[in-house]
Each structure stands twice: as C-alpha cells, then as structure tokens.
Amino acid sequence: MPKLFLHKGREQPVVRGHPWIFSGAIQRVEGEVEVAGVADLYDSSGLWLARGCYNPKSQIRLRILTWREEAIDKSFFARRLSHALERREQSLSGLTNAYRLINGEGDFLPGLVVDRYGDYLVCQFFTAGMDGLKGMVIDALRHLFPRMSIYERSEGSVREEEGLLPSVGPLSGDEPPELVVVEENQLKFLADLRGGQKTGFYLDQRENRILLHSLSREKAVLNCFSYTGAFGASALKGGARQVISVDSSRPALETARRVLDLNDLAAAADDLIRADVFSYLKNCPRQFDIVVLDPPSLAHRRGDVAAASGSYKFLNLHALRVLRPGGLLLTFSCSQHIPQELFQKIVFGAAVDSGKRMQILKKLGQPIDHPVSLHHLEGEYLKGFLLGVLD
C-alpha cells in the first residue's frame, strides 16, 4: 500500500474532514507509486491521517474513504451501503422506488454513484481508485439487493481526466429494457438506464417536481428543457390547465408523450415543442403563470463560468419577460462551478434588466438522497429559486 506524506502545514484540511488531497500538497510518496489503488496518508512528521483511493495521474491524488485505520474491503462497503440505504428507506419508501443510494462524497464514498430504479441498480465508477474496487462494491450490492440487476454507466469527462475509458454494460443479472417504469408521488415515469441523461432520469429534481405539483392548479405552465417531461407531468397532475414543454431532443419529447399517456394526462399535440429553448424564449409571444427553467450544466469547467453566466442571464431574462404579473419562476443551475451566490446575482441581474420586482419565495436544491458532506460543500451542485413576480 503506497504511503503519501504531506508537506508541513498541509494537514489541516484533512483533519477537518475534506476528502480531496491535491498533488501540490504531497511532499513524497513511498511504495508502489505508478498504480491507482488504496493508499495511506501521513502528515510531514509521519503521523497517520487517513486512507483513500490514490491515482498518480490525477490532480486529485487521493480521495479519502476513511479517517480510521480500517480495511477497505467488502465489509467496509457493506457498512457504508447499509447506512445509506437505511436513510433512504426512512425518508423515501412511501414516495418512490427510484432514488440515489450513493452520492459520492456526500455519502463518504468519493468516485461512486449508485442509483436505484425499481428492480435495477445503476452504478457509476468515476475514479481510477474506485474503479479498482468495483468487485467489492458489486459484491456488497449483491448481498444487500440479492434480487436486483446491476448495470454500469461509467462514462464522462471525470473518467477521462482519471485516465479511464468508458465502461457500460451489465454487472449482475439482466440488462435493463429500453425504458424502465418508476413511480414517484403517484406518477409513473420512464427512465432510460442504458442511454438516458445521468443514469437515466433526473432523480435530483424530485422535491422540486412535488413543489411544482402543489403550485400548478389552473395555471398555464412553460416547461423549458423539458427532457422526458417529468416537470410537465407533475404540473398537469397538480391541475395545470395547460403545460407547454420545450426541448431540442425528438426522442426525449416522444418519451414525454408516453409519460403523459402512462398517467392518463391530456395534452394537445402542439403542447410538446421541439425547439432550441434560447430561441423559443426570445421569440415567444405568449404569457405564462409559471415558467420552469432547468437547463443542462452550462459550465463543465471553471473556464466556462463567464460564458455560462451570460447564458443563464439570457434564459432568466427572457423567462421573466413571458411571465404574467403575479407569476412564478422556478429557475435552476446544475453547474457545479456556478455557486449559489453567483447564480443569485445572475438572476438578480436578469430581474433588474427585465424591469420586474421579484421575491425569493424559496431556495431550492438537492433532495435528501443527494446529501452533501458538510466538509465538502463542492458537492452542492444543484441550486435554484422559486421566484414570485410582483403584480
């Protein structure tokens, strides 16, 4: 097992619980230094501090798994997974059969995401160290969920930065069908586990969909970046008189239509619009009681923040222009590099330019199954606001 020694004075973030050790904090490494795996961390005097996943090719050299001298084995993962499952069952068992079981650093398992969709588990191994521990994770999941199939969706820019190729396919049991039916708040949704966004569905917007459901009675709703129509279905179930859903993806809109049919929700053929949301909002001649803005991440890297800020302002400015007096805006950013304070400033700038007076009725964010470590606030990627327009 490699031993990583920190420069003098660089141990405080570790002692305070931050799970990332960057290359610049490391003075030297002893042992097998060229292969990713489990490694121990020491301060400059040789005092043991923590144990985690090491990758010599990553800027983040170590991602801490534990601050105790314990074995990283199947029993370790079984304990962490069981604890996470207990919390989810306490809070979500009566509401849904689709939720995030493991949320990386938020569940003290950096580099790992596990989502449940009914009888299927979808895993993502983002880091080289966690990828090397895949067998132990799968064994622990099989023990905890003996009747469930396990599918892998390990892909994306984080794996590329870790020097890993994409890895997609069954890990245990049957391959999922084209679309899996899941239930949430007395609605049925369709999740594409093999090729859809994220691991197949936007599980992180569950509580915000419930909020929209409660606000929609007799309202005209515009659902921007609608994907497979989960916000739209929630609004219609809540009694909206009309929901216009706009997305650039034809397959996503076709799935949205199937979701409406699955729930016996009525919508006209032209209520599902294939269009670029930026252009649609800029040229929209209608007014709405509620607008939902849930764009994909617009800042994948720190260097994207300036351009993304301009895009978020454009979207919010034009969303406000199509809101009726007294209307509501649910606006979101899922860009990790756009902190809530900056997002609030962007939305404020849009409000000023629109000439409308706004209220923050509620700050919105991640649901209970997407926890954030208090020691790693970088994990708080989803932020949003419910805003009211003054009459």
Q: Is the dihedral of CA 169, 173, 178, 180 positive or negative?
A: negative
At 11 the three-state DSSP class reads coil
Start-to-end C-alpha separation, the chain: 65
C-alpha closest to that of 182 among 116, 92, 236, 101:
116
| Cα dihedral 313, 245, 296, 237 sign | positive
Question: CA angle, 176 as apex, 184 and 365 as ends, to 5°?
Answer: 35
Would you state the structure tokens that stand for residue 342, as one six-digit string? 């900056």
In single-letter form, the type of residue at position 188 comes to K
Phi, psi of 7 (to 5 degrees): -65, 155
Give me the sheet containing 37-42, strands edge to edge.
20-22, 60-66, 48-54, 37-42, 3-6, 26-30
Q: Which of 53, 123, 224, 334 is catalytic?
A: 334
Tracing tokens 């930026």 back to the chain, one arrives at 278
As to burial, measured by CB atoms within 10 angstroms (0-12 exposed, 13-18 middle, 19+ buried), residue 68 is exposed
Task: Answer whether 102's CB lies under 8 Å from 84's CB.
Answer: yes
Q: Is 224 a catalytic residue?
A: no
Please give the backbone phi and psi of residue 153, each rounded to the nearest 5 degrees, phi first: -130, 60
Residue 322 to residue 314: CA distance in whole angstroms: 13
Q: Active-site residue numbers?
A: 334
